[in-house]
Chain A
């Protein structure tokens, strides 16, 4: 036990005019930490079904996230090809997460070269899956894993992510439940729109250090 640690904890306890908490008090707090007890959630964070879907879309669009509706995953290579053509990126590789369902798609038929790796400087476009979407703010949630490196969410100019409608939850608390159920990963990204900055004269401008565009393929 370091001196600094002892001193800081000691000063806190003397400020509170008590010694360390009793075992019983600690057990009570420990129980609380495991309880998943929610504070009052706003009505917006308790919606279900079609409302959740509509809210998610409306909020996402409000923060300049682009949504492309797809009927099934097989449509994805063609939709991606269209996006890359529209953005003059046909000569660029698609940096792809090592997700089995994405890797298995027929990219070559859509004229797309894929690179399955982490992202680095100079990458134009990436594609990942996502864990869930949160209706209350149109937020996309991603968890890091061997198949979903965090750099893919951050480095490329355009980040594209697949989101299934049944993975749209109402509030942040629901998303944390999904995160906990898979075990807490190194990184959880709650992403609400493409990167921006207001550091130049207090005017919000898009395209700071993260992706300039965030595209959701909604299934």
Chain B
């Protein structure tokens, strides 16, 4: 995916003015958060499970080298291969190499955000291999030349008529408006692709060190058909998605679906271990796992290490007041919402992604719903601090922060300033006691009035009260 994060502010503005998008986003607000809440109510042990998930993930990171090497050995024991990719280029070259080794013309793809991150589709097309997205949402986006705006509901920014239009145009069939008919049309067309593909590429929600297995969690069944029918199955995943054992996997299966869509379980939780075995009548002949790093190893031991616990459930963005107003495309790259605001600067640089960690009210909802308790607001704050230290960000806010810091470190000056400011603001507000325009704060007052401060400052009242109470 191309990087558009530097244009975050312009993209947010146009998102707010986009009536279709705003309509589509109302579906999000009405959907996932309520369903998650219901699922929580049915699982009283959820908070204990979250604590244990944090422990397991922290243990994995502290011993990540061991778990990755063990996973590799087990995959090999199962007859598969592990490929290590430092970055997007390594990963794309490896995947292309495997495709060429079997003379692949088309590859089917299950939903995978890591393949978005490494821009795999564009790379394969450039080298004459045709990728076909098989997840319904991803398929719609591919037809439109569009990109996901959400990590588990990729086409959340679209409304039904837009799907009807693109199907009619690309499939050259009569335009359908009934969702069931649209789904049937995609199902029929996709079946030919499943059968014709030479290689199937999926992601992995988790991989298991104990058994050398990968797991995908889906509702549609497209990922399963993608990895079962072609003669080669390539799993593209990232190094932090490791869990030690099948017992640990059980815990994460319980956390993921409930946090994501509010389902008690996704329809298909599928474990893959190696290629087909002796006597198996179907399944791939080759099993490859591409372990993508792409900046993650540099988060180990770093201020952002907690982010490596992320299981990509999307609860943080589903509950985010910023995401739910502007949608995912405004963020300008693969990962939107709070988790994206932490991860994106690491992957594309804070110079390009600087707006993202600033696009938060720090309301704390993201941290409150995170199944692995990632302190997202404080990680965003860490990025803001780094930005400040590097001398980035708009001059006005930098000077503002410096002035504020100077005042806050000199209480006598701070108190003097507020003693002067309060009557000034009162005077400015006139008879309404409301301030409708204020220098340097137009962005605030353009939408609403600021109530004028009344009476004395807090510190004045505090010292008065203390004096009165003294005998």
Partner-B contacts on A (CB < 8 A): 2, 4-5, 7-9, 11-17, 20-21, 25-26, 29-30, 32-40, 42-44, 59, 62-63, 117-118, 120-121, 137, 139, 144-146, 149-151, 153-155, 171-173, 176, 179-180, 184-203, 205, 207-211
Check B37 for interface membership: any CB of A closer than 8 A: no
**Binary per-residue interface labels of chain B (214-257) against chain A in the complex, 1 for a CB within 8 Å, 0 otherwise:** 00000111101100110000000001000011111111011000
Q: In the complex, which of the residues B219, B270, B278 has the most CB atoms of chain A within 10 Å of its own CB atom?
A: B219
Q: Is the CB of B247 within 8 A of A210?
A: no
Check B190 for interface membership: any CB of A closer than 8 A: yes
15 sample A-B contacts, Cβ–Cβ < 8 Å, listed by A number: A16-B300, A20-B65, A21-B63, A144-B283, A149-B282, A151-B229, A172-B249, A172-B254, A186-B280, A190-B265, A190-B270, A192-B268, A195-B267, A197-B137, A200-B160
B54 to chain A: closest CB distance in Å?
Answer: 11
Q: For chain B, residues 119 to 148, give those with C-beta under 8 angstroms from any C-beta of chain A.
A: 134-137, 140
In the complex, what distance in Å separates the CA atom of A43 from the CA atom of B279? 40
Q: Is the CB of A176 within 8 A of B246?
A: yes
Q: What 10 A-B pairs are tightest by C-beta distance, nearest first?
A: A210-B221, A15-B300, A15-B301, A146-B279, A199-B137, A208-B220, A172-B250, A11-B297, A202-B27, A190-B269
Which range holds the interface residue count of chain B? 35 or more
In the complex, what distance in Å separates the CA atom of A11 from the CA atom of B297? 6
In the complex, what distance in Å separates the CA atom of A39 from the CA atom of B461? 54
What A residues does B281 contact at CB under 8 A? 117-118, 146, 149
A148 to chain B: closest CB distance in Å?
Answer: 9
Check B90 for interface membership: any CB of A closer than 8 A: yes
B210 to chain A: closest CB distance in Å?
Answer: 5
What A residues does B438 contact at CB under 8 A? none
In the complex, what distance in Å separates the CA atom of A150 from the CA atom of B297? 36
In the complex, what distance in Å separates the CA atom of A61 from the CA atom of B278? 36
Q: Is the CB of B245 within 8 A of A9?
A: no
In the complex, what distance in Å separates the CA atom of A209 from the CA atom of B84? 31
Q: Beyond A4-B90, A173-B250, A197-B219, is A154–B228 a contact (Cβ under 8 Å)?
A: yes
Q: Beyond A154-B228, A171-B250, is A186–B275 a contact (Cβ under 8 Å)?
A: yes
Check B209 for interface membership: any CB of A closer than 8 A: yes
Q: Beyond A190-B269, A199-B155, A209-B190, is A29–B222 a contact (Cβ under 8 Å)?
A: no
Q: Beyond A171-B250, A190-B268, A210-B267, is A154–B224 a contact (Cβ under 8 Å)?
A: yes
Q: In the complex, which of the residues B62, B247, B266 has the most CB atoms of chain A within 10 Å of its own CB atom?
A: B247
Q: For chain B, residues 153 to 173, give those with C-beta under 8 angstroms from any C-beta of chain A.
A: 153-156, 159-160, 163
A29 to chain B: closest CB distance in Å?
Answer: 6
- List 9 extra interface pairs beyond A16-B300, A34-B210, A186-B277, CB under 8 A: A15-B297, A29-B70, A42-B43, A154-B225, A190-B269, A197-B220, A199-B153, A201-B160, A201-B179
Closest to A11 in B: B297
What A residues does B293 contact at CB under 8 A? 8, 11
Q: Is the CB of A149 within 8 A of B31?
A: no
Check B101 for interface membership: any CB of A closer than 8 A: no
Q: Is the CB of B276 within 8 A of A195?
A: no
Q: Is the CB of B70 within 8 A of A33?
A: yes
In the complex, what distance in Å separates the CA atom of A210 from the CA atom of B157? 25
Check B85 for interface membership: any CB of A closer than 8 A: yes
Q: For chain B, residues 174 to 205, give those with C-beta under 8 angstroms from any C-beta of chain A.
A: 179-180, 182-184, 187, 190-192, 194-195
Q: Is the CB of A2 within 8 A of B84?
A: yes
Q: Is the CB of B229 within 8 A of A139?
A: no
Q: Is the CB of B65 within 8 A of A13?
A: yes
What B residues does A35 contact at CB under 8 A? 245
Q: Is the CB of A193 within 8 A of B267?
A: yes
In the complex, what distance in Å separates the CA atom of A151 from the CA atom of B224? 9
B280 touches which of A33, A59, A63, A146 (Cβ 8 Å):
A146
In the complex, what distance in Å separates the CA atom of A4 from the CA atom of B281? 35
What B residues does A16 contact at CB under 8 A? 62, 64-65, 300-301
Check B86 for interface membership: any CB of A closer than 8 A: yes
Check B104 for interface membership: any CB of A closer than 8 A: no
Q: Is the CB of B220 within 8 A of A39?
A: no
B440 to chain A: closest CB distance in Å?
Answer: 40
Check B4 for interface membership: any CB of A closer than 8 A: no
In the complex, what distance in Å separates the CA atom of A1 from the CA atom of B145? 39
What A residues does B300 contact at CB under 8 A? 11-12, 15-16
Closest to B266 in A: A192
Q: Is the CB of A207 within 8 A of B180?
A: yes
Q: Beyond A186-B277, A203-B179, is A12–B247 a contact (Cβ under 8 Å)?
A: no
What A residues does B244 contact at CB under 8 A? 29, 32-33
Q: Beyond A9-B68, A187-B283, A193-B267, is A207–B187 a contact (Cβ under 8 Å)?
A: yes
In the complex, what distance in Å separates the CA atom of A118 from the CA atom of B228? 11
